[in-house]
Chain A
């Protein structure tokens, strides 16, 4: 586990030294979520219904935007090769990379989401559910995204290809994440949605690092 923490600390440190990269993703999320009321009109009822979905889709796109950077710098300067060659299990290292990606993008998005939720007129209870759903769901985005980032490493047109590969796999998270908030707004319990999101998180924690490690080995062959 020490390896994981080491990678996380290193990646966060690197991200903090280049704050602009992190902040761009953060502001992209806010701007994207703010565009929808301008596009569909400021009707309160409509916005309240759209809110959870809009926040989730914006979070998905923001996470996608930063994915290609997950391995790119390490690939360019040869660090990634050293990681692959090191005796530590590569899957653990990729787990660290994905968690660091989540701390740098997913976590800030989750923390700012209530503010956007208020703009969309969501109730206090809905906001709580939204935050819990994002806390459970955004790590899955980073974990699955890692597979896509590793598969498209160093390819031309990698960005658009990454979206095509990763977005279909994000759909379950989107459906159940936004569904949790809708369930609460409709007077139902969000528990079932949380269970499924939790299951998705456990499944991706277990399998995504292995797939990412395999993809990295292929990319560096």
Chain B
């Protein structure tokens, strides 16, 4: 029997099959968690004493903001691996993650604006956290624009990797912005070290939604990386055989 190795999946051909098997599962989980999270968020969680019903936007706002920062770091890590170890799949993963990250950044900004109007009386304020999140969106867009502008895939991957790593400096600035500056944006509601300051049902709803966002991101990135693999390996025999098999 052949020895099992996780590194086997670093080959695009093998990973293509694995990703195909995983996508339905992660999609199902995403839908399941989203239904549970929305149910808890809209029907179980109580109305907030200070913010009324409008607070319920945190069920999408906070998970989206988490994902926006985490996906950037993940993308930078994949890009860094691609740059240092020359692993083809990590470059493809970095490229596949970028649109999802940009989407979540946009959602975080958009829902934040909708929440800001009733709470602060303005859709947008030039507050440190809002501004740094906006910069994050520009970093994602810059990463995608740079890769789109370079025709040679190898150069595009490597140039994008350098940019992603340089931009990663911004992520801690966003994360700590509420602590470093005395700003309008409220501090973190959830902390690893302290007991949560909000009702248990609210926390449950938010975490369920965060899980839903995680599963969604994994499913979508895997689907996108499959397209990326097919496009880059289009001249190989296995892709030709795959397409032959589909025609039948």
| Smallest beta-carbon distance A111→chain B, Å | 29
The interface stretch among B28-36, B52-60, B95-103, B139-147 is B139-147
> In this assembly, does B45 line the interface, its C-beta being within 8 Å of a C-beta of chain A?
no
Q: List 5 A-B contacts (CB under 8 A).
A: A152-B146, A155-B149, A164-B142, A214-B162, A218-B159
Q: Give the residues from 190 to 221 in chain A that come closer than 8 angstroms, CB to CB, to chain B.
A: 211, 214-215, 218-219, 221
**B158 contacts across to A, CB distance below 8 A:** 218, 221
Please indicate which of the listed interface residues B139, B150, B170 has the most CB atoms of chain A within 10 Å of its own CB: B150
B163 adjacent to A165 (CB under 8 Å): yes
> In this assembly, does B167 line the interface, its C-beta being within 8 Å of a C-beta of chain A?
yes
> In this assembly, does A19 line the interface, its C-beta being within 8 Å of a C-beta of chain B?
no
- Indicate with 1 or 0, residue by residue over A163-191, a CB within 8 angstroms of chain B CB atoms: 01101110110000000000000000000
| Smallest beta-carbon distance B131→chain A, Å | 8
> With A and B bound together, what is the CA distance between A160 and B149 in angstroms?
11
| Smallest beta-carbon distance A156→chain B, Å | 7
**B154 contacts across to A, CB distance below 8 A:** 221
> With A and B bound together, what is the CA distance between A155 and B155 in angstroms?
11
| Smallest beta-carbon distance A162→chain B, Å | 10
**A155 contacts across to B, CB distance below 8 A:** 149-150
The chain A residue sitting closest to B155, CB to CB, is A218
| Smallest beta-carbon distance B81→chain A, Å | 15
**A46 contacts across to B, CB distance below 8 A:** none
**A218 contacts across to B, CB distance below 8 A:** 155, 158-159, 162
> With A and B bound together, what is the CA distance between A144 and B167 in angstroms?
11
B159 adjacent to A164 (CB under 8 Å): no
> In this assembly, does B173 line the interface, its C-beta being within 8 Å of a C-beta of chain A?
yes
Q: Is the interface of B mostly helix, strand, loop or mixed?
A: helix
A169 adjacent to B166 (CB under 8 Å): yes
> With A and B bound together, what is the CA distance between A155 and B159 in angstroms?
12
Known contacts A157-B149, A165-B146, A218-B158; decide if A151 and B138 are in contact (CB<8 Å). Answer: no
> In this assembly, does B135 line the interface, its C-beta being within 8 Å of a C-beta of chain A?
yes
> In this assembly, does B165 line the interface, its C-beta being within 8 Å of a C-beta of chain A?
yes
The chain B residue sitting closest to A153, CB to CB, is B159
Known contacts A167-B138, A171-B135, A211-B166; decide if A221 and B155 are in contact (CB<8 Å). Answer: yes
| Smallest beta-carbon distance A50→chain B, Å | 14
Given A168-B142, A171-B135, 8 further pairs, Cβ under 8 A: A144-B166, A147-B163, A156-B149, A164-B145, A165-B163, A211-B162, A214-B162, A218-B155
| Smallest beta-carbon distance B82→chain A, Å | 12
- Indicate with 1 or 0, residue by residue over B72-85, a CB within 8 angstroms of chain A CB atoms: 00000000000100
> In this assembly, does A161 line the interface, its C-beta being within 8 Å of a C-beta of chain B?
yes
| Smallest beta-carbon distance A193→chain B, Å | 13
| Smallest beta-carbon distance A76→chain B, Å | 18
A161 adjacent to B145 (CB under 8 Å): yes
